[in-house]
Structure 1
Amino acid sequence: MDSLVLDIGGQIGALVITTGPDLAEEEIEISPGLDPAAKRTHNVVHPRRDRDVVRAYAAVFPTVPAGPYTVWHRDGSPYQVVTIHGGQVTELTMS
């Protein structure tokens, strides 16, 4: 599978959002807390491969301070709130 380096520990975690192929190369945005006006961070959904076979589609946020985050739909509406824990990888499947 593709190699990723996650810089987690202390109060820093990571977020991995898996999707279907329909979101390949699309940006996914997250923002801290529940405020729709909060500054957003984005990452692109990439195919994750094992040799030549695509095993998953995922956007990876490798360094996220602990706390709640809103994950946003492409249309700008909130999708779900996730909680990032320091030293851990939080996973979300976005359909």
Structure 2
Amino acid sequence: MDSLVLDIGGTVGALVIHAGPALAEREIEISPADRDSPREHNVVHARRDHDRTAYTAVFPSVEAGDYTVWAPEGARHAVVTIHGGEVTEHHL
């Protein structure tokens, strides 16, 4: 898989959102679930590993807590919980 650097530990985790090829190069947004805060975004990239390609948006450093994942159309998709020192994975 392509190299990624995650900045996790203490109260900071990471979020990997798995998407399909139809979302390649599209933005995915997240925001804290408990307040009306600005959204963070990242782009879905094709990441290759030997004989397969995964399409993911990676948020490498996210403070622990609950976050809304926003679908590319702008609708709420899900709420995910980020834990410090861990990588949370979600399938869009």
**Superposition TM-score, scaled by structure 2 size:** 0.94
Deviation at 1:25, TM superposition (A): 0.1
SS in 1 for 2:72: coil
- What amino acid sits opposite 1:7 in the alignment? D
Counterpart of 1:93 in structure 2 is 91
Question: Unaligned stretches of 5+ in structure 1?
Answer: none
**Superposition TM-score, scaled by structure 1 size:** 0.91
1:26-45 → structure 2 map (5 Å cutoff): 26-35=26-35, 37-45=36-44
Counterpart of 1:55 in structure 2 is 53
Supply the distance in 1 between the matched residues of 2:27 and 2:11 (Cα, whole angstroms): 25
1:43-91 CA-to-partner distances (Å, cap 9, x unmatched) read 000000125x552000000000000000001221100000000000000
Please say if 1:9 is aligned against 2:31. Answer: no
Q: Report the number of matched residues.
A: 92
Supply the distance in 2 between the matched residues of 1:50 and 1:82 (Cα, whole angstroms): 26
> Does the CA contact (< 8 Å) of 1:47 and 1:54 recur in 2?
no
The percentage of aligned residue pairs carrying the same residue is 64
1:72-87 → structure 2 map (5 Å cutoff): 72-87=70-85
CA-based RMSD: 1.2
Supply the distance in 2 between the matched residues of 1:6 and 1:79 (Cα, whole angstroms): 24
Question: 4+ residue runs of structure 1 moved beyond 6 angstroms?
Answer: none
